[in-house]
Amino acid sequence: MRTAGIIGGLGPGTTAEFYMEIIQRARKVYPKTYPRILIHSIPVPFEVEQSIVAHGRGEEEMFPLLSEGVCRLEGSGADFAVIPCNTVHVFHSQLQGAISIPLLNILQETALACRSRGWDRVGVLGTVKTFNDRIYESALEEQGLVPVHLAVEKRDELGQLISRILSERTLPDDRQILIEMLQEMEGKGADGVILGCTDLQLLVNEGDPDLPVSVVDSMRCLADAVVRNLYDDEGGE
């Protein structure tokens, strides 16, 4: 059994969900024991988090915390690392260069999941930074998929919604707002939509019967990749 290293705190609710997702998926495949997992939760200043999510600014202040975090995971014995946050994958290549262990890529894993479902046109919902830096485009295009974009005027609204999730101040209408954005994607010809912020799975998810279009949860795609990388070819210990 290998040891997985997780950068946590982006945000804490998603970290907890991600940990439990790995545990549940690992037990289905390897029921003999729990997996080895290290979590390093980084102390993200709230104002920095809100600025990145809602306005697409200030991400450079996150990099030192992320870099220190992945180095700590490697130094603590992790065999590979993951960051269950789409937005900060803008730093993936730099963070991978800081460590010698693999840093799995949530963007690539999610794009692979979309291709495996037979989708051709894929919508993305995420933070303002995710939209501004077009961080999903390369991963989707590498799989021969066509990105479908949310209307520009809706992106700030989505950023504010994600901010409310992070601050645990969601409004009664937030889930319906998200569903209406999914309807927009479906109307533009999307075969499916990526929940390209791991916090969105706290409002909607893949199994929900009332969604207007299929969704793929990027957090679950990364959890699947973790389980695949936890065990050697023989499985278990």
Residue 46 within a domain: yes
Cβ–Cβ under 8 Å, residues 179 and 195:
no
Q: Tell me phi and psi for residue 109, to 5 degrees.
A: -65, -40
Boundaries of domain holding 181: 107-217
Residue 236 within a domain: no
Domain identity same for 85 and 142 = no
Residue 68 within a domain: yes
Distances (CA, A) of 226 to 1, 83, 103, 145: 12, 11, 10, 24
At 122, is the secondary structure helix, strand, or coil? Answer: strand
Query: Residue 210: pLDDT above 90?
Result: yes
Number of domains in the chain: 2
pLDDT at 234: 45
Residue 46 or 22, more confident: 22
Domain identity same for 86 and 112 = no
pLDDT category of residue 232 using cuts at 50, 70 and 90: low
pLDDT at 195: 96
Domain identity same for 55 and 155 = no
Residue 53's nearest CA partner among 166, 206, 173 is: 166
Domain identity same for 74 and 173 = no
When mean pLDDT is compared across 6-10, 45-49, 76-80, 138-142, the lowest value belongs to 45-49
pLDDT tens digits, residue range 46-89?
888 777 777 777 778 889 999 999 999 999 999 999 999 998 99
Helix boundaries (H) for the chain: 12-29, 46-55, 63-75, 92-98, 106-116, 128-132, 137-142, 152-166, 174-187, 218-230
Domain identity same for 19 and 115 = no
pLDDT at 186: 97
Residue 11 or 194, more confident: 194
Residue 235 within a domain: no
Domain identity same for 153 and 57 = no
d(CA 219, CA 122): 17
Domain identity same for 112 and 80 = no
Domain identity same for 190 and 95 = no
Domain identity same for 16 and 97 = yes
Residue 62 or 227, more confident: 227
pLDDT at 237: 43
pLDDT at 236: 44
Mean pLDDT to the nearest integer, 138-154: 95
pLDDT category of residue 233 using cuts at 50, 70 and 90: low
Domain identity same for 96 and 180 = no
| Residue 168 in tokens | 């645990």
Q: What is the pTM of this model?
A: 0.90
Q: What is the CATH number of the domain that holds 147?
A: 3.40.50.1860
Residue 24 or 48, more confident: 24
Domain identity same for 123 and 143 = yes
Residue 97 within a domain: yes
At 216, is the secondary structure helix, strand, or coil? Answer: strand
pLDDT at 78: 98
Query: Residue 25: pLDDT above 50?
Result: yes
Domain identity same for 113 and 209 = yes
When mean pLDDT is compared across 72-76, 101-105, 113-117, 152-156, the lowest value belongs to 152-156
Query: Residue 235: pLDDT above 50?
Result: no
When mean pLDDT is compared across 37-51, 114-128, 210-224, the lowest value belongs to 37-51
